[in-house]
């Protein structure tokens, strides 16, 4: 039997910094399969998943896509995609 009283208090969090939030969602063709890629404000990739998932529909509800993935600000982030894939990509700016 324990000599303590009640429930232990929670431990303090480690204090690790949070990751920057995703600001952009890019729906793009990747070798015949549509993928959704999440990027921070600085175009750093933070996630990639199937564009047909329910999460994509929820994240983009009410948002209008732009077709500006050919802009120079996307050159490094989307370097694995060819010009045709980038031209057909939908870029959503997420509400943060």
Does 36 reside within a domain? yes
Domain span at residue 42 reads 24-93
Cα 63 to its chain centre, rounded Å, is 15
Does 11 reside within a domain? no
5-55: pLDDT as tens digits: 777 777 777 776 777 899 999 999 998 899 999 999 999 999 999 999 999
Domain count of the fold of the chain: 1
Does 43 reside within a domain? yes
CB 24, CB 93: distance < 8 Å: yes
- pTM (2 decimals)? 0.80
DSSP 64: -
52-66: pLDDT as tens digits: 999 999 999 999 999
CB 45, CB 70: distance < 8 Å: no
């Amino acid at each position: 039997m324990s000599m303590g009283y009640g429930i232990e208090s929670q431990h303090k969090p480690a204090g690790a910094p949070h990751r920057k939030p995703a600001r952009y969602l890019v729906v793009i063709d990747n070798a015949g399969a549509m993928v959704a890629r999440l990027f921070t404000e600085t175009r750093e990739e933070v996630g990639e998943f199937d564009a047909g998932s329910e999460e994509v529909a929820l994240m983009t509800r009410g948002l209008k896509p732009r077709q500006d993935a050919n802009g120079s600000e996307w050159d490094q982030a989307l370097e694995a995609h060819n010009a045709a894939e980038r031209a057909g990509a939908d870029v959503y700016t997420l509400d943060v």
